[in-house]
Structure 1
Amino acid sequence: MTTPTALGIDEARDRLHELTVIDVRTPGEYAGGHLPGALNVPLGQIRQALPDIRHAAARGDVLIVCASGARSENACRMLADNHVTAATLSGGTAAWAAGGNELRRESTSRATWGMERQVRFTAGMLVLLGLLLGLLVHPAFLLVSAGVAGGLVFSALTDTCGMAALLARLPHNRPRAADLAITLAALRSR
């Protein structure tokens, strides 16, 4: 498995006007701050959007963006498996913002935590709950903490995250069908 091409923050900023930027974070994360001109196609919907992304890639370079670069690398690999070339943004939107670059926010959206923060919070709460219930109610509840720890190890080894996949299905993270339809139409028009 090859590592996708990565664009540095400076190169991406200089070429932003000529790139089709696709943000693969959840709609909630996207609304909380995205690169100017970025279109939101959540990672779980990349395959559905493939024909339109292929169309955009035929007309110019595609840059895939997420919070840190992990999800965008996965998206680039999926696209490469389907003969679509795309680059990822080194360090994601976190590095983009840290470099003093503008993030656009949806004016009607409420603030949503990034997926990595949601996973850390949920995992921490489950471990704490398992420990407390294991000490106060029954030792079998310690298995909750052990299960979360095992899941985190598996996540690190496979560079996947089942908890993030589950959290992405929550209403505040779930894309609305109309949003994807609008995004796909925008991709076709590029």
Structure 2
Amino acid sequence: MTGNSEDLVIIDVRSAAEFESLHIRGSYNVPLPLLSEHTGTLAERLGGSVVLVCQSGVRAEQARGHLAGAGVERAMVLNGGVPAFAAAGGEVVRGAQRWSLERQVRMAAGTLVVAGLAGGRFVSPKVRFLAGGIGAGLAFSAATNTCAMGQVLAKMPWNKTAAEPTAQSAIGQLPASR
């Protein structure tokens, strides 16, 4: 993002691997688990307007809720996330390409459902419970706006980078409030 708003801070709450793949130039990576755990410290550091971004807006909205609870009222969520910003011609930095966590969740869920149905047909009817369990998990995920499968996949080796931020490095990189 460009412009004359010096107090605008863009915080990307995606994983370090997602951030490394594509991020808004000038944004800061504070993954949602770190932000959630250290909201108070982060809130003390923020002074002006905050724009929260992620892949689609879901994690950014969760981050906005955490910050609002810590007194940061000027936090906004970028609708459509980083991909929408890039598609609109915004200035982004591209790195090593990986599948987004949302795409990985769809692939894992779909594969497990097919495996459950095939296993139920060829191995044991009880294997169909796998497909039912995945369906129930997806429904719960939609109802609660959380994703346990995404959290698990984020910890997989292919989603890790050498520069996974710590609380100190993630929050310390932000400009001090004025």
Q: Assess same fold via TM > 0.5.
A: yes
State percent identity of aligned pairs.
37
| SS of aligned partner of 2:165 | helix
Counterpart of 2:57 (choices 58, 69, 93) is 69
**TM-fit CA distance, 1:144:** 0.3
User: TM-score normalised to the size of structure 1?
Assistant: 0.82
Given the alignment of the two structures, is residue 123 of structure 1 paired with residue 109 of structure 2, yes or no?
yes
Find the counterpart in structure 2 of residue 43 from structure 1.
Answer: 32
Find the counterpart in structure 1 of residue 136 from structure 2.
Answer: 150
Find the counterpart in structure 2 of residue 7 from structure 1.
Answer: none
**TM-fit CA distance, 1:182:** 2.7
**TM-fit CA distance, 1:175:** 6.6
Find the counterpart in structure 2 of residue 113 from structure 1.
Answer: 99
What RMSD over aligned residues (CA atoms) do the two structures have, in Å?
Answer: 2.2
Measured in 2, the distance between the counterparts of 1:28 and 1:178 equals: 8
Deviations 1:114-158 (A, max 9, x none): 111011011011101111111111111100001001111111111
Find the counterpart in structure 1 of residue 80 from structure 2.
Answer: 91
Deviations 1:67-114 (A, max 9, x none): 1111100110011112123111111112111212222124xxx32211
Counterpart of 1:160 (choices 129, 146, 159) is 146
Q: Is the 8 A contact 1:20 1:56 kept in 2?
A: no
| SS of aligned partner of 2:173 | helix
Give unpaired runs (5+ residues) of structure 1: 1-11
Between stretches 44-53 and 147-156, larger displacement belongs to 44-53
Structure 1 94/16 Cα, relative in aligned 2: closer, same or farther at 3 Å? farther
Q: Is the 8 A contact 2:19 2:29 kept in 1?
A: yes
Given the alignment of the two structures, is residue 183 of structure 1 paired with residue 170 of structure 2, yes or no?
yes
Aligned residues: 175
Give unpaired runs (5+ residues) of structure 2: none
Q: Is the 8 A contact 1:56 1:62 kept in 2?
A: no
Find the counterpart in structure 2 of residue 141 from structure 1.
Answer: 127
